[in-house]
Amino acid sequence: MKPTHNEGVIIGGNATVSGPVAAGRHARAEQYQAGSEATVAREVAKLRELIRTHGTELSDLDSISSEVDEVERETTGARPDRDRTLAALNRLASRVSAVGAVAAGVARLHDIIA
């Protein structure tokens, strides 16, 4: 199949793809595996910075901050609750979905924890 215009990534034939794939201007493909506490803490810090940077584009910053606080509490506590953490990240994802950079940060953290 030959596209008549850019369709993004087209993989055909008897191909096997193992790993991330990205196409387009400013595209990024990243792959994460379950991370250590340090990795999770670093990603939470990055997420907070993204929220600060894009705060004017987000609505209900108090709720967004509360969700991030819950994620941080759950991931740093003595008995982390993965299900609670993922639920908070899902709620957070819906709150920040309009801002791609922040949504990508939430997705990255979700992938690390999931």
Q: How far is CA 23 from CA 11, 35, 114, in A?
A: 12, 26, 25
Residue 92: closest CA among 104, 78, 81: 104
Instruction: Report the helix count and the strand count for the chain, using DSSP H and E.
Output: 4, 0
Does the residue 30 lie in any domain?
no
Q: Tell me, yes or no, whether 70 lies in a domain.
A: yes
Higher pLDDT, 50 or 2: 50
Per-residue pLDDT tens over the stretch 68-112: 999 999 998 888 888 999 999 999 999 999 999 999 999 999 998
Report if residue 64 sits inside a domain. Answer: yes
Task: Give the closest residue to 50 by CA, choosing from 64, 34, 63.
Answer: 64
Q: Model pTM greater than 0.75? A: no
**pLDDT tens per residue across span 47-72:** 999 999 999 999 999 999 999 999 99
Domain range holding 49? 37-113
Total number of domains constituting the chain: 1
DSSP summary character for residue 51? H
Task: Report the chain's C-alpha Rg in angstroms.
Answer: 17
Query: Can you give the pLDDT at residue 77?
Result: 82
